[in-house]
Amino acid sequence: MYTLENIQSIVGILLIPGACWAFSEDRKAFPWKMALGAVAVQIIMVLALFGVPLLRDAVAKVGVAIDGLANATQSGVAFVFGFLAGVDPQPYSLTNPGALFVFGFRVLPVILVVCALAALLWHWRVLKWITQGFGFLFQRTMGLRGPAALAVASTVFMGQVEGAIVIRAYLEKLSRSELFMLITVGMACVSGSTMVAYATILKDVLPNAAAHVLTASLISAPAGVLLARILVPRNPLMEQAEDVSGGKEKTYDSSIDAVIKGTGDGLNIVLNVGATLIVFLALVAIANGILGIFPQVAGAPISVERILGIIFAPVAWCIGIDMHDALKAGQLLGTKLVLTEFTAFIRLAAVPVSEISERTRIIMTYALCGFANIASVGINVAGYSVLAPDRRAEIIALCGKAMLAGFFATCMTAAVVGAMPSALFGG
């Protein structure tokens, strides 16, 4: 059944590209065909993944696989950290079993294991074939050149910066528009390792969480491409056809080498995620302490969370969130932008089921599923400066704008999902 809330989400689908057009570097070059194509691709992918029984069952089994992966990971964590991993037997009597879920022992280790598996699948060419398939899809449906299409597809599975490594040999030759597009898509999507982590965080509060997280990252790529093309339109005269067949790509000497190097890459991600969460949450606590000096407003202290909620509540409403949930959803959107999506997902999982509707929780899962945050600006500047050192100044100038484009790309994805009938997702 179609409702006013579904129509409300259509407002976001129209408003977000329109807002990007207002800040475009060339407002005469709005890509109408790409806009229609990107939304169509998103709708078709959602309908296919949740409406076609065969695909729906396959995606649903992703959740079972993730649970198995998480349980297997806990075996290694328990061997290294013992009862701190939350496994039985515990040396003390439990008064709060929920306290056994410790982020550092239950979520971060999963990233290590998935990174190692991803490297192994890449070495076995399985992940490479999947990436090339999606690259061909983006090339045909959205008019991207070969190298850019391959990098966009790689980013969906490998994450920001890592996806660009696949076409490292061509980064210096990409146009400014293509470079901006790659950075934007990197911030609009997440890596395979973090997909599993987010699904692990949400599994107790959102039915079929793994399917939603996987779909969110896949369908945010077309939105990221579209908004990037609107903000920094392509210049056909500057783009010359390039063949990706001779590109330098990541390789491993053997399966063992892939596992070891994949684990090392995962360790870097784990350390980065953990350190970023500690620092940014500490900074917010400091800010809240300073704001606490001021008088209360509406019977509650002023805080960063309340300010972000007020700022982003209109955005939440535009993507289809009910007014009753808009303030809390706005807080989550602001948290994602300022404190990273990990913090936002943790806080979404902590919201009691009775406080927000399942529709709101589903839409917010899509809106939060992307790397667009302040910390990612530094990650992209550092990463791309190594991959394309001669374009460092250009990269620095583009990253801030790409962060906002990636943020609104996930919001547009959430609006597309919000425009779908709730029955499609079992609601």
Find, among 192, 181, 239, 172, the residue nearest to 390 by Cα. Answer: 172
Cα 343 from Cα 98, distance rounded (Å): 18
User: Is the CB of residue 98 less than 8 Å from the CB of residue 177?
Assistant: no
CA Rg value for the chain: 21
Q: Mapped to the 3 state alphabet, what secondary structure does the chain carry?
A: CCCHHHHHHHHHHHHHHHHHHHCCCCHHHCCHHHHHHHHHHHHHHHHHHHHCHHHHHHHHHHHHHHHHHHHHHHHHHHHHHHHHHCCCCCCCCCCCHHHHCCHHHHCHHHHHHHHHHHHHHHHCCHHHHHHHHHHHHHHHHHCCCHHHHHHHHHHHHHCCCHHHHCCHHHHHHCCHHHHHHHHHHHHHCCCHHHHHHHHHHHCCCCCCHHHHHHHHHHHHHHHHHHHHHHHCCCCHHHCCCCCHHHCCCCCCCCHHHHHHHHHHHHHHHHHHHHHHHHHHHHHHHHHHHHHCCCCCECCECCCHHHHHHHHHHHHHHHCCCCHHHHHHHHHHHHHHHHHCHHHHHHHHHHCCCCCCCHHHHHHHHHHHCCCCCHHHHHHHHHHHHHHCHHHHHHHHHHHHHHHHHHHHHHHHHHHHHHCCCHHHHCC
User: Is the CB of residue 212 less than 8 Å from the CB of residue 427?
Assistant: no
Find, among 164, 150, 52, the residue nearest to 424 by Cα. Answer: 52
Q: What is the pLDDT of residue 412?
A: 95
How would you label 338-358 residue by residue, b for 16+ Cβ within 10 Å and e otherwise?
Answer: bbbbbbbbbbbbebeeeebbe
Q: List all residues 6 or more positions away from 426 whose beta carbon is below 8 Å from its beta carbon.
A: 207, 208
**Block residue for tokens 């919001």:** 411
User: Is the CB of residue 217 less than 8 Å from the CB of residue 189?
Assistant: yes
Number of domains in the chain: 1
Q: Identify the domain containing residue 145 by its residue range.
A: 4-236+243-425
Q: What is the pLDDT of residue 97?
A: 62
Q: What is the largest CA-CA distance in the chain?
A: 71
Cα 320 from Cα 271, distance rounded (Å): 35
Backbone torsion region of residue 303, taken as left when φ is above 0, otherwise alpha when ψ lies between -120 and 50, otherwise beta:
beta
Cα 143 from Cα 223, distance rounded (Å): 14
Backbone torsion region of residue 320, taken as left when φ is above 0, otherwise alpha when ψ lies between -120 and 50, otherwise beta:
left
Q: What is the pLDDT of residue 408?
A: 94
Tokens read off for 387: 């991959």
User: Is the CB of residue 107 less than 8 Å from the CB of residue 86?
Assistant: no
Angle subtended at Cα 249 by Cα 246 and Cα 251, rounded to the nearest 5 degrees: 125
Sequential pLDDT tens for the chain (427 residues): 667 788 899 999 999 999 999 999 888 888 888 898 889 989 998 998 888 888 888 877 776 777 777 778 888 888 888 888 777 777 777 676 666 667 788 778 877 887 888 788 888 888 778 777 877 777 777 777 777 888 888 787 777 777 777 776 677 778 888 889 999 998 998 877 778 888 888 888 888 888 898 888 888 989 999 999 999 988 766 665 444 444 455 678 899 998 998 888 788 878 877 887 788 788 888 988 998 888 888 777 888 888 888 899 999 999 999 999 999 999 999 999 888 888 899 899 989 888 889 899 999 999 999 889 888 888 788 778 877 888 888 988 998 899 999 999 999 999 999 998 887 876 5
